[in-house]
C-alpha cells in the first residue's frame, strides 16, 4: 500500500511569506504528527492530530498551525516566515494516537526561507 | 536543550567492525524507539522497547533499554555499508504519540 505522501517535496519562500504543507497518511491511519528537523536541533515535535482534533502541541510559536480533515489528510501552515524556519518538515502517520502504534514517516518537505 | 543525548554524534568505521551508539537522558520514558534515516528519506522504525532492562535483537542489531528506562543503547555487530545512515532514538513519556528525539548519530561504514 502507498506510504505517507508529503507535498511539495521542496519549497523556497522569502521572509514574511506564509506556507502550507500537505500530508496524506497511509490509508486507514487516523493519527498524524508533524516534526521539524534541523541540523542544530534535530527532530522536534510540532503537533499531533487525531479525528480532526489537535491532541498535543510542541513548544513552537503560534505562527505554526495545523489542521486535519475528515479523510485524515493534514496540513500545516507557517505564517510570517523567518530564516530560522528553514528545515525539513516531516509528517508521520499511525493507526491510533498511541506510542504502541508504529509511526510511518513521509520523505518530508524541504523548506528554504531566503 | 535536548531531552535525549546521543553519542557519538559521528562515527566512521570499516566494514566488519562492531559499534555501540548510546542514548541518554535524565528523564524516564514509557517507551523508547530507534530509527534509521537515510538521505532524502524520513526515519524508519527499527525497534520499540518498553520494559526496563529489555533486550531486543534484530539480525546484527541489538537494542537495550536501561533498567531505569532513562537510557538505551544500540549495538551493531559486523557493520556493513548498508548500515550507513542517521540513527535516532526517540522516547515517549506518556501513552500518546508525542516523541522526543535524540540528537542523532551519523554512521558511515566504509567498504
Question: What confidence tens digit (pLDDT) does each residue in A12-69 have?
Answer: 999 999 999 999 999 999 999 999 999 888 999 999 999 999 998 999 999 999 999 9
Q: Could you tell me the CA-to-CA distances from A112 to A12, A14, A94, B58, B61 in Å, in that order?
A: 5, 8, 28, 37, 36
Nearest one of A109, A106, A105 to A89, comparing CA atoms: A109
Nearest one of A26, A50, A46 to A38, comparing CA atoms: A46
Compute φ and ψ for B83, nearest 5 degrees: -80, -10
Compute φ and ψ for A84, nearest 5 degrees: -70, -5
- Shortest distance between the Cα of B35 and any Cα of chain A, in A, equals 10
> Who contacts B72 (Cβ-Cβ below 8 Å, separation ≥6)?
B22, B23, B32, B34, B49, B63, B64, B65, B66, B89
Lowest mean pLDDT segment, chosen from A8-12, A96-100, A105-109: A96-100
Mutate to test the interface with B, among A25, A99, A107 (most CBs of B within 10 A): A99
Q: Do A98 and B95 touch (CB under 8 A)?
A: yes
Q: Write the pLDDT tens digit of every residue in B6-17.
A: 999 999 999 999
DSSP A18-65: -EEEEEEPPTT--EEEEEEEETTTEEEEEEEEETTEEEEE-S--TTEE
Q: Does B2 contact chain A (CB < 8 Å)?
A: yes
- Which pLDDT value is given to residue B1? 60
Q: Do B98 and A44 touch (CB under 8 A)?
A: no
- Shortest distance between the Cα of A28 and any Cα of chain B, in A, equals 17
> Who contacts A79 (Cβ-Cβ below 8 Å, separation ≥6)?
A18, A63, A65
Q: Do A45 and B100 touch (CB under 8 A)?
A: yes
Q: Does B85 contact chain A (CB < 8 Å)?
A: no
Say whether B3 sits in a helix, a strand or coil. Answer: coil
Find the mean pLDDT for residues A65-87. 97
More confident residue, B75 or B40: B75
CA nearest to A58 within chain B:
B98
> Who contacts A16 (Cβ-Cβ below 8 Å, separation ≥6)?
A80, A81
CA nearest to A50 within chain B:
B97
Q: Do B97 and A31 touch (CB under 8 A)?
A: yes
Q: What gap in Å lies between CA A17 and CA A21, rounded to an integer?
A: 13
Q: Does B98 contact chain A (CB < 8 Å)?
A: yes
Amino acid at each position: 500500500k502507498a506510504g505517507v505522501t508529503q507535498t511539495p517535496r521542496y519549497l523556497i519562500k522569502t521572509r514574511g511569506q506564509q506556507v502550507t504543507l500537505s500530508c496524506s497518511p497511509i490509508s486507514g491511519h487516523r493519527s498524524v504528527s508533524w516534526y521539524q528537523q534541523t541540523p542544530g536541533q534535530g527532530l522536534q515535535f510540532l503537533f499531533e492530530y487525531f479525528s480532526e482534533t489537535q491532541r498535543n502541541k510542541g513548544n513552537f510559536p503560534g505562527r505554526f498551525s495545523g489542521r486535519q480533515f475528515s479523510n485524515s489528510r493534514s496540513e500545516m501552515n507557517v505564517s510570517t516566515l523567518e530564516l530560522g524556519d528553514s528545515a525539513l518538515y516531516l509528517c508521520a502517520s499511525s493507526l491510533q494516537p498511541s506510542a504502541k502504534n508504529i509511526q510511518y514517516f513521509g520523505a518530508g518537505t524541504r523548506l528554504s526561507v531566503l | 536543550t535536548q531531552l535525549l543525548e546521543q553519542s557519538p554524534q559521528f562515527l566512521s568505521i570499516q566494514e566488519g567492525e562492531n559499534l555501540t551508539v548510546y542514548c541518554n537522558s535524565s528523564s524516564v520514558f514509557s517507551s523508547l524507539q530507534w530509527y534509521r534515516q537515510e538521505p532524502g528519506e524520513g526515519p524508519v522504525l527499527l525497534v520499540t522497547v518498553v520494559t526496563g532492562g529489555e533486550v531486543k535483537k534484530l539480525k546484527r542489531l541489538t537494542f537495550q533499554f536501561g533498567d531505569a528506562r532513562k537510557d538505551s543503547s544500540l549495538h551493531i555487530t559486523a557493520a556493513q555499508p548498508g548500515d550507513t545512515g542517521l540513527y535516532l532514538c526517540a522516547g515517549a513519556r506518556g501513552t500518546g504519540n508525542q516523541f522526543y528525539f535524540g540528537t542523532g548519530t551519523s554512521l558511515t561504514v566504509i567498504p
